[in-house]
Structure 1
Amino acid sequence: MIFLLFVLSVVIQLFAIWAIFFFNLNRTIGSVITIAVAILTALILTPWALLLGTPLIALSIIILFAPLRFNLITQPAYKTLANSMPSISTTEQEALEAGTSWWEKELFMGAPDWSQFEKYPYPTLSAEEQSFIDNEVELLCSMLDEWEIHHHLKDLPPEVWQFIKDKGFLGLIIPKSFGGKEFSSFAQSRIMSKIASRSLTTAVSCMVPNSLGPGELLMHYGTDAQKQQYLPGLAKGEEIPCFGLTSPEAGSDAGAIPDSGVVCYGEYEGAQVLGLRMNFSKRW
């Protein structure tokens, strides 16, 4: 009976410490429970129970007081994990700093502030975006037969490709000054969702130029001459956008691609030009 009581005491203490870390139990409450149970067990049982419970009491005190917890647990754990993590490349760092965590941060913290979520305005479509969905998107969907596309043609019909180019489906993110639609992210999501409900093949064919294509990179990092040369053609579907993604070493993990390029002068079509000398290997 004494042994079972002691085991129960230890289990309660361990559970209180575990709850502090994994269930966001108030540190003060959890630590007081641990210390109180250990001392009570020692008073009821024998001094050796207190001796065995001393490590748990010490751990509770460390958790309870922030300076001790930081110096003895948080800081050593952070240093250990920091040394074991792979270094972040320049490209990955730029991607991390490119946007914000929005409300997802609240979700991953495990204690979302729902009142904060209610304050975010619900996205809406402009009149032009709604008209595009009601007309061009609806007409495109009426032209699609996914079974025929996937099982027989293995491609979109020529008239569908032409419609996509003519109506600006490949330039949704490109500014109007370069011939694009300059639609919002919300509009793009609604457009692609609608197309995907009819044909996944067509949806992906429209998604890639608007997401993985070079249009957005050119808008942010291209020179004025590059923008004038390429963006109008991308918006009209006259230029074919590509993303050299899959590699033997990294699969489809864009951040792990080991490809490199060197900015240099070289001969191209009989003239000395400034360009990129690429070093890459692709699976297909």
Structure 2
Amino acid sequence: MPNDPITDTRDPLHPILHGTPELGRSLQPPVWAGITGLAAVILLAALAIPPLISRGKDQRPDGSQARPPTATAPATATAPAASMPPTGGASPHVGPSATVGGAPPVATPDRGTPRSAKGSSSPSRTTPPNANPPTRFTTVTVQAENPANSLSEGAIPVSCGTCDGGARVRYLGRITVYLNTNVAGTRTVTVTYELDGNRRVKVAVNNAAPTTFSLSGTDWKQPMTFSFAAPIPAGRTAITFYNDEGDCPDIDKVTVS
């Protein structure tokens, strides 16, 4: 039987499209290399084209580079400077500071310190403190047996259980009692004595004319008193007791009040 040339002839594209295992393995490396190169071209185009587009926008027709506009800060409103006040007048008082878009500040006059009708400020009144406040008189008591006193003409101190201070002065001839007062004036002088019977005593204040007192008592252990008024100066005072005509009572103490 004769051979059919058509059926016996093989398709020349079949090995290329379908190929044999050996032919397919030989075509795999070029295919992957082409795909990798195409991807690299796409990546480079994506990176290079946008800068070229933006550069074309910023470039002027003459080829020079256009600079982007510089942002400027908005202008702020400033308050007008306050005018100098006239000589001798009151200083103006500037109100709150102006804000952007607001009205300028308004100057308000300062009324200052109110003055009196004559144009001068009223002087302050202060009450001066009392430089010398009044001093109250202090009562003074001196014992007759005090060593600072003067005893003469036989007068001596003796013990006394009923006397103030535990002693008194007996056997007068003469005794001068010294005391100090803080305020001058007419004071009451009180003398405490002891006596059994009737006797007299003369009293002189600061060498003034003496005054004679007639005294009486019932016991040498019973304190008695007599008083008189006399001008007593501030400072030291001397009061003398004596009797140049007879015996004196015993003296216990002297009080000026």
- Report the TM-score range of the alignment, normalised by the length of the smaller protein: under 0.3
TM-score by structure 1 length?
0.17
Higher relative contact order (CA 8 A, sep 6+): 2
**Highest Rg: 1 or 2?**
2
In terms of fraction of residues, the more strand-rich structure is 2
TM-score by structure 2 length?
0.18
